[in-house]
Amino acid sequence: MNAKSVQTLVVLLDKEISLKEIPYFRGCVVHSMEDANILFHNHLGDEQLRYRYPLIQYKRIGGKAAIVCVGEGTEVIGEFFSQTDFHFKVGEREVDMGIDHIDAKRTILQVWDSDFRYTLRKWLPLSSENYREYGQLEGISERCDFLQRILVGNILSFCKGIGVTVEGEIKCVITEIMDTHSYLYKGVKMQGFDVAFKTNISLPDYVGLGKGVSLGFGTVVKKYENRKNNNE
């Protein structure tokens, strides 16, 4: 892989939201600006979508509303700060939000000789096609291998989406399936996973992998000793 430094910016707001409220929160952010950049909503107009990796993602971190910006997304977030009054109608409730803190980082995206350990929560890896294939697998190891292949594909899609070309081999091992849960995504019931995994590629905290990443699904957090994972 050509090593590349990728900028991320996490904007944590000071009010709590539920997972179900994330789409409303996204709408509030978009509509708070007079003419929001396409990266805030990924719509080209006339109900056409920008089918590329979302560079601005809306999440729930530590129970609070958050915006995660990746690459070019970090360059346009200033439009939000300059135009919004932080008074939102999230679903049926009026909320005045402020900024809790902003965290800017650069991560070298590269295949290494050593492994990094991560958690991946609310991951939606299964399409309607591979869900049937997954369901036909009876062994735990077979299912784990199947999910690991999808995870490698999700990481490759993320790299491609931010302009990184992979030259080395990405290896992933799911070390634990912590939980499974059904989620409603775009009106479709989908199976989600909370997993722990190790991989030989360094990934930025709070970026999304898999389906629904712009709405808080599939969020990656690196595992550090003595640090509680607060991606909830």
21 pLDDT above the threshold of 80: yes
pLDDT of 41-81, one tens digit each? 876 555 555 568 999 999 999 999 999 999 999 999 999 99
143 pLDDT above the threshold of 70: yes
**Residue 58 and residue 17 share a domain:** yes
How much of the chain, in percent, has pLDDT values that exceed 70?
91
CATH code: domain of residue 46? 3.30.70
pLDDT of res. 3: 64
pLDDT of res. 129: 84
107 pLDDT above the threshold of 50: yes
pLDDT of res. 208: 97
**Residue 218 and residue 123 share a domain:** yes
How much of the chain, in percent, has pLDDT values that exceed 90?
77
pLDDT of res. 158: 96
**Residue 89 and residue 131 share a domain:** no
For tokens 């910016």, the residue is 9
pLDDT of 156-194, one tens digit each? 999 999 988 877 999 999 999 999 999 998 889 999 999
**Residue 210 and residue 128 share a domain:** yes
Beta strands in the chain (DSSP E): 4-16, 43-45, 48-49, 56-61, 64-70, 87-90, 93-96, 99-109, 111-123, 172-185, 188-201, 219-222
The domain containing residue 195 runs over which residues?
112-222
**Residue 97 and residue 118 share a domain:** no
Contact 100, 64 (CB under 8 A): yes
Number of domain units in the chain: 2
pLDDT of res. 1: 44
pLDDT of res. 226: 47
**Residue 44 and residue 124 share a domain:** no
